[in-house]
Amino acid sequence: MMVQIPQVLDTQALRRMRETLLAAGWVDGRVTAGHQSAQAKHNLQLREDDPLARELGALIVQALLRQPLFVSAALPDRVYPPLFNRYENGGSFGTHIDNAIREHPPSGLRLRTDLSATLFLNEPEEYEGGELLVEDTYGVQRVKLPAGHLILYPASSLHQVRPVTRGARLASFMWIQSLVRDDAARTLLFDLDRSIQQLRGALPEHAALVQLTGVYHNLLRRWSQV
Ligand SMILES: O=C(O)CCC(=O)C(=O)O
Ligand SMILES: [Fe+2]
């Protein structure tokens, strides 16, 4: 399931982040790529141990965990410290699937990538191209979102970033290990949670809410791994 999380960062936080990133130490993006995807990758990134990446990344994770939509859709167990990338001058990332297991040596963290996410840090009008193309069950989804919005998609999906032919595309990307590994089970829980929230809004006193919330937690108990 693909889910858009709007307004993870507000205008002020975005402006500050972009100003800081302008002066950052960008390096060849192949530093974090696996053997195969390195051949398809043409962009710039901040190193995983760059103190700036770690500081800005922590702000992003904090903001994400405050978003009920993100928590409900991802059921996050561990979040990989966000990385930052920049595509310009025709830069692109050809079709690939992200590595299943990621290590983050600076923090000693290791996780299984159940979900991948991209947080767009500048406006779509500022660059030509740079769409994230994700192949899901219903075809190829083209994603190019306003600054501050995030797209969450199964890490098992083939995806690519189209060449940026004008301007520069600035983004943060990360991986999430979910409490619920199976995408279909996680999607059912997400749909159930949204229905419960809707019912709670319309009929806050309805007795079925207690029962449905119980069903949600009993399914989560069956399907989660902690
Ligand atoms: O920049 C993006 O939207 C995705 C980047 C990506 O696929 C990756 O670095 O593995
Ligand atoms: Fe990727």
Instruction: For 5-42, write each residue's pLDDT tens digit.
Output: 999 999 999 999 999 998 889 999 988 777 777 788 89
Question: Known binder of ligand: residue 159?
Answer: yes
Pocket residues: Cβ below 6 A from ligand 1: 85, 93, 98, 118, 132, 159, 161, 171, 173
User: In the structure, what pLDDT confidence band is assigned to residue 150 with cuts at 50, 70 and 90?
Assistant: very high
Task: Give me the pLDDT at residue 205, please.
Answer: 95
Task: Give me the pLDDT at residue 137, please.
Answer: 86
Instruction: For 110-130, write each residue's pLDDT tens digit.
Output: 999 999 999 999 999 999 999
**Domains of the chain by range and CATH?**
3-178 (2.60.120.620), 183-223 (4.10.860)
Adjacent-strand bridge partners of 193 = none
pLDDT mean across residues, the chain: 95
Q: ipTM score of the complex?
A: 0.99
> Ligand 2 centre from 104 Cα, in Å?
16
Q: Does pTM surpass 0.90?
A: yes
Adjacent-strand bridge partners of 151 = 4, 118
For the CA of 98, the closest atom of ligand 1 is 10
Residue 210 pLDDT > 80, yes or no? Answer: yes
